[in-house]
Chain A
Amino acid sequence: MSEATLIKPDIDFVKGVIAAGGESLKKCYQCATCSVVCNVTPDKNPFPRKEMIWAQWGLKEKFIGNPDVWLCHQCNDCTAYCPRGAKPGEVLGAIRKQTISQYSKPGFMVNLVNSKLMMPLLFLIPAIIIGIFANFTAPEGELVFSNFMPVHYIQLIFVPAFMFGAIVGLMGMMSFFSDMKKAQGISSGNLVGSIKALIGDILSHSKFKSCDVSKDRYLSHLLVFFSFVTLGIATSFGVLYIDILHVDSPFSLFGKGAIVKVFGLIGAIGLLSGVFLMISNRYKNAGKVGLGSYFDWLLITIIGVIMASGILSWVTRSAGLAEAAYLIYFIHLVFVFSLFVYLPYSKLAHIFYRSAAICFNKYSGREAAPGR
């Protein structure tokens, strides 16, 4: 017989998971249907059945350095087939939120960002920061956004905001990776090969394709992902024009800096369709898997507002509606700032942690070959 194990339940962790959208957690009776219907789970020690009992028992330390909650793409095949309505997909989402706070420092930011009560503050603070630099005394003359907020101010605010988000996320990602190595007892592997395979997975969205219930998410996530890539390219061209070629904005679709506009427009339309699909998929599958938690909707809302305000600010500017254009542009800036700063604390943190987990799974050899 093995030695007796002393179980130390962390009640706060259980409560946290329940509060974060895992209220069905305690319904699980460990039949393991979920681990079998899941198409992305490994054969050895599959998830999410074991995560369900760890979370029920408050075994928080089991989740430290554990890649499995991040291997889940929450396609909710498990939730649809769960005989008890325990919604493993939602519970794993809630656990992910709980574990983000362990790696994205300072951890309290995760709860702050994802608390309904804090929502006004969440956008008020960025509004104040941007407000300080903005020219609210309705600039006279030509309707140009740089009259409202000079480009060098934008760079002064948004470059550090983005760097902050990215650095916190990358640091979290690295500490998660080293925790995984420690916890799973893996000391070496093919890191470069794993990263290459990871990038292949991300570009092809191969994991999403294996889902059954939420198959449509493949397309919506693909659209959102590549739209962000496209918008990133647009931004790079913008930087190129302004800082290197010294061509001032505004750019025009048929004039100077057209390439910025072309990429911007493609990105905006892609994002619009992607977010629309995401929302409609959620409603379509709500009967089977639920609508999702605040954590999910916060990100959808931020992206949705960025996209809508981006397009509208362009439209109102072109229409010469100064007041509306400046106001909408202000909202746009506030939400982009929020996206950057809250990057490692919101659901978007999955960029770091899911990538790390998939990469580790390849690194450790648990996932034999890409596209298994």
Chain B
Amino acid sequence: MSDNTNTILVVGGGISGLTTAAEAAEAGYNVVIVEKTPYLGGRVSRMNKYFPKLCPPSCGLEINYRRLKFNPRITYYTLAEIERIEGSAGNFNISVQLNPRYVNEKCVACNECVAACPVEVPNDVNAGLDKRKAIYIPFEQSFPFQYAIDDASCKKSDCGKCASACRYDAIDLNMKPKVIEVNAGSIVLATGWDPYDAKKIDNLGFGTSPNIITNVMMERLASNTGPTKGKILRPSDNKEVKSVAFVQCAGSRDENHLAFCSAVCCLASLKQATYVREQYPDSKAYMFYIDIRTPGTSYERFLNKVKEDANVSLIKGKVAKVETDPATGDIIVTAEDILAGGKVKVQVDLCVLATGMVPTVGKVKLPDSVKVNENGFVVPGKDEHGIYAVGCSVNPADVAKSVQDSTAAALKSIQTIRRNS
């Protein structure tokens, strides 16, 4: 058994990819992680708290980073993309393009470059809630802790101000992409998800007021590492958010948008209601739902706990109209309160659209043997294919389910390698 085919390729360095990598490596197999952003941790690294325990994801990530750092069997590439996958189970040849970071390991994170950079773009890490420079560190706990230059917005040698500002010779604006070859016995797809584009839901008003945000934005708004350092202020005027409406199924369970249930939004909104309620004791939270989906004992218990709060109202009836009050900037949501039998209009400081998950696996250059269904998720293939999809590349899933999936996929990948050696 050659050392190469003893290798598992993991596409995606989020919680699923990290888990698969750590589990397989700790069982004695080599792992190569290919991550397209400049950092590992994926969407979980941008979460404020986990449901139902309401603990910060950063501590779980910390543990995974340590498992990675101190395990010589794991190699990871950030800013890397799959160019081509050839071969079959037991012997895949994968070309990986490594995009330039323009910052080398001499970087000491002194931040002089950021001060010098004249280019400002919407900060994708904070879901566009604030701006960042073209050279940036994604967040304070980024792993690897290394600055990066955003290829699309940086003017490179036409500007060069960051390179002049750097006293450590850590910026190389002439870095070029390069392609490396990886030989692996099996492949795990852990490509994750994007939030559904809320602008497409034209009756929910996203884009018409900064006070209509998505649940992904809300996570950043409540996070200590977010644009407001964890203080929940509404975007239009930085007013404290004393009332919030959660609009469930914003695009999910809707054949005009995403035909499936995104699985996490009900729990996410319940969780986010606690963010507001904890920060402002006199605040009110309204959650408008079709059905509240919190399956399993611990999730049910969490629902019941949130329900006990008299300032949290759960209203059965989907919001289908979202308007802005021009005088106050408040948001007015309209729904039919099915159980009460009448239309309700609720005026709130902030409206959170619980947008669903769009799988991103379709953006990866995959071999034809990998089938994707009409919703964009991978159709699980036979074990002989040697390619396994986990987490949100195969189904809408929360972190707990994704981690279980990933551990299972690590075992499946090992079995594939053993079978073919």
Which residue numbers of A lie inside 8 Å of B, CB to CB?
29-37, 41, 43-46, 49-50, 81, 83-85
Contacts and interface: CB of A to CB of B under 8 A. Distances in A.
14 contacts: A29-B290, A30-B338, A31-B317, A32-B336, A32-B338, A35-B320, A43-B342, A43-B343, A45-B342, A46-B342, A81-B256, A84-B254, A84-B255, A85-B255
Contacts of A36: 317-321, 334-336, 343
A53 to B, nearest CB: 9
Given A43-B343, A45-B342, A81-B203, A31 B321 contact: no
A31 B338 CA distance: 9
Interface string B217-230: 00000000000000
Contacts of B317: 31-32, 35-36
Contacts of A41: 343
Nearest to B257: A83
B249 A83 contact: yes
Nearest to B254: A83
A172 B335 CA distance: 35
Q: Which among A33, A41, A46 has the highest number of chain B CB atoms within 10 Å? A: A33
A35 to B, nearest CB: 4
Given A29-B290, A43-B342, A83 B255 contact: yes
A32 B342 contact: no
B336 A49 contact: yes
B295 to A, nearest CB: 17
Contacts of A50: 341
List 9 tightest A-B contacts by C-beta distance, closest first.
Answer: A83-B254, A36-B320, A32-B336, A35-B336, A31-B318, A33-B320, A31-B290, A32-B317, A43-B343
Interface in B296-346: 317-321, 334-336, 338, 341-343
A46 B336 contact: yes
Interface of B: 203, 249, 253-257, 290, 317-321, 334-336, 338, 341-343
A81 B320 contact: yes
Contacts of B334: 36
B245 to A, nearest CB: 14
A325 B335 CA distance: 58
Contacts of A81: 203, 256, 320
B341 A45 contact: yes
A37 B253 contact: no
Contacts of A46: 336, 342-343
Contacts of A84: 254-255
Contacts of A33: 318, 320
B290 A30 contact: yes
A44 B342 contact: yes
A28 to B, nearest CB: 11
Contacts of A45: 341-342
Contacts of A29: 253, 290
B288 to A, nearest CB: 9
Given A36-B319, A36-B334, A83-B254, 4 more contacts: A31-B253, A32-B318, A33-B320, A44-B343
Contacts of B203: 37, 81
A234 B317 CA distance: 51
A315 B406 CA distance: 79
A37 B204 CA distance: 11
A49 B336 CA distance: 9
Contact of B256 (A31, A37, A83): A83
A151 B95 CA distance: 90
Contact of B321 (A30, A37, A44): A37
Contacts of B290: 29-31
Nearest to A85: B255
A49 B338 contact: yes
B257 to A, nearest CB: 8
A49 B341 CA distance: 10
Contacts of A35: 317, 320, 336, 343
A44 B336 CA distance: 9
Nearest to A34: B320
Contacts of B254: 83-84
A50 B321 CA distance: 19
A144 to B, nearest CB: 59
A194 B317 CA distance: 32
Contacts of A30: 290, 338
Contacts of A44: 341-343
Contacts of B341: 44-45, 50
A50 B337 CA distance: 11
A127 B342 CA distance: 51
A31 B318 CA distance: 5
Contacts of A83: 249, 253-257
Contact of A32 (B253, B257, B320): B320
Nearest to A39: B321
A192 B329 CA distance: 43
A142 B97 CA distance: 91
A84 B254 CA distance: 6
Contacts of B319: 36
Contacts of A37: 203, 320-321
A81 B290 CA distance: 15
Contacts of A34: 320
B250 to A, nearest CB: 11
Contacts of B320: 32-37, 81
A35 B342 CA distance: 9
A41 B342 CA distance: 11
A320 B249 CA distance: 67
A307 to B, nearest CB: 37
A299 B154 CA distance: 65
Nearest to B291: A29
A341 B341 CA distance: 40
A59 to B, nearest CB: 15
Nearest to A80: B256
A156 to B, nearest CB: 53
A165 B249 CA distance: 48
A79 to B, nearest CB: 11
Contacts of A43: 342-343
B335 to A, nearest CB: 6
Contacts of B321: 36-37
A37 B321 CA distance: 7
Contacts of B343: 35-36, 41, 43-44, 46
Nearest to A41: B343
Contacts of A31: 249, 253, 290, 317-318
Nearest to A212: B203
A361 to B, nearest CB: 15
B265 to A, nearest CB: 14
A84 B253 CA distance: 8
Contacts of B253: 29, 31, 83
A121 to B, nearest CB: 40
A84 B203 CA distance: 16
